[in-house]
Structure 1
Amino acid sequence: MRAAHEHLLIVEAVADGNETLAAQATAVHLHASLDTILTSLADGGRAPDPFPVAAPHGTTTSPRAQAPAPAPTLGAAR
């Protein structure tokens, strides 16, 4: 969610014609993105999950990992 807020700040600065704020917000965003990438690489290449939720045994997992299987397509054999 942090990246989305950073993007919004950049867009608003550009829309307002504020070049200085747009440049500064872009620099902050790029620095934060680099920090996330380097942390991910240090942790074995796994990006931090932006949407962790509590799992049954006290662990955390992503809602994406809990997504139901896709519905069968029309005309598929049963």
Structure 2
Amino acid sequence: MSRLLAIGDIHGCLTALETLAAFVPFADDDVLVTLGDYVDRGPNTREVLDWLIDRHSKGTLIPLRGNHEIMLLEARDSDAELRFWLR
């Protein structure tokens, strides 16, 4: 029987994400909803995004955009916002 699971505020922390995944093992038919805030703060943003992309490619992830993703996307259009992200 599949489950609907939700995770929020990963913030680039791959170790915490993997620890949670080990503690609450995800079955192949489980659907994971991620509540945004994948980027910023943690040391492994790229690896977190790769983990999420892999899960999404299997059709078992519903990613939602959080405020940190919105701010990052806005930085593309504003020098001041971009400087904030590059500091």
The structure where strand makes up a greater share of residues is 2
TM over 0.5: no
TM-score of the aligned structures, taking structure 1 as reference length: 0.29
Which structure is higher in RCO with an 8 Å CA cutoff and minimum separation 6?
Answer: 2
